[in-house]
Amino acid sequence: MRAVGQNDKRWPFGGVRIGLAVLALASIASGCGQGGDGARAEPAGGQQPLQAPPARALDAYATRLRAAHTARVAAAKHWGLKKVPLTAPPPPAKKPRITTRDGFEVDGHRRLELPPVFTTVPTDEKILFLTIDDGAEKDPAFLRMMSELKIPYSAFLSDYLVKEDYGYFKEMQGRGVALHNHTLRHPYLPALSYARQKREICGMQEVIEERYGERPVLFRPPYGNYDKATLRAAKACGITHVPLWNEEVFVDHWEYREWDRDLHPGDIVLTHFRGREDWKGTMPDMIRRFMDKVTAEGYAVARLEDYL
């Protein structure tokens, strides 16, 4: 269920956030300037008095907010979205406790302190998390679209596809996207021994660290299939979380894990780096379908890593 008063937090085009920010700064200015223009309010205890920020600073801040909003409106129109995407709330100061979803445990999951396997992040906010797997399609238009619309997402990469163009994902990382582990060759892991699973997972850890300078802590098993050996190997390779998904979006349809075939606060959404060779459209076409639905239902897209 959505939080009470959720609709009060977001007006069309995110205008409430701009307005509230400006009002907040204006109230600071008026509250600190008691006693007339340029006057100081003398605090008790001999502390240094607070001073209002210069009016020019307020004007500059408001101008930047308006410019950012105007750019997002223009981007939504340029990329053919029906509405401007909603802005996600700030990430929580205290991260939610992530546990393994019921029925997704393996034998000894808690005793062995294996990484949690989950499909939803606990939150009352109407937010979703977009995750994209594999790395087959390397569409420059997709990178531009996501940057211009400021839509966060997380990438789970397999080396056998990524190695065709490591630079594409380096550019993606430079745009603020976190790159995570999806194995070297995308095998069905439960069919492999523990040692071979570990090579697939740790091997991809090393590739990402060497190519992109960071060792991932998130891992998604290919096809969402895993066993106890998978999670043991993942933990040994430095993995702390195993996010799966609750919905999957394609160019022409959605698929759902839950019986109600609906979105829920905190759901993780899966899609893939795919293009016309596999789909009846492009990655921007898929993002358009994704954003039109989530925005129409009052959801914003948040950054998964901010909640883990």
CA distance 85 to 299: 9
State percent of the chain over pLDDT 70.
82
Secondary structure (3-state) at 72: helix
Backbone angles phi, psi at 297, to 5 degrees: -95, 10
Per DSSP, what are the bridge partners of residue 225?
none
Residue 66 has a pLDDT of 84
Count CB-CB contacts under 10 A for residue 124: 12
Q: Which residue has the higher pLDDT, 260 or 49?
A: 260
Quote the pTM value. Answer: 0.81
Give mean pLDDT, residues 168-194: 98
Q: Report the mean per-residue pLDDT for the chain.
A: 87
Count CB-CB contacts under 10 A for residue 185: 13
pLDDT tens profile 261-281 = 999 999 999 999 999 999 999
pLDDT tens profile 89-101 = 999 999 999 999 9
pLDDT tens profile 102-117 = 999 999 999 999 999 9
Residue 68 has a pLDDT of 81
Residue 53 has a pLDDT of 60
CA distance 248 to 222: 14
What is the band of 24 on the pLDDT scale with cuts at 50, 70, 90? very low
What is the band of 48 on the pLDDT scale with cuts at 50, 70, 90? low
Q: Where are the extended beta strands (E) located within the chain?
A: 117-118, 127-134, 154-157, 178-181, 242-243, 247-249, 254-256, 268-272, 300-302
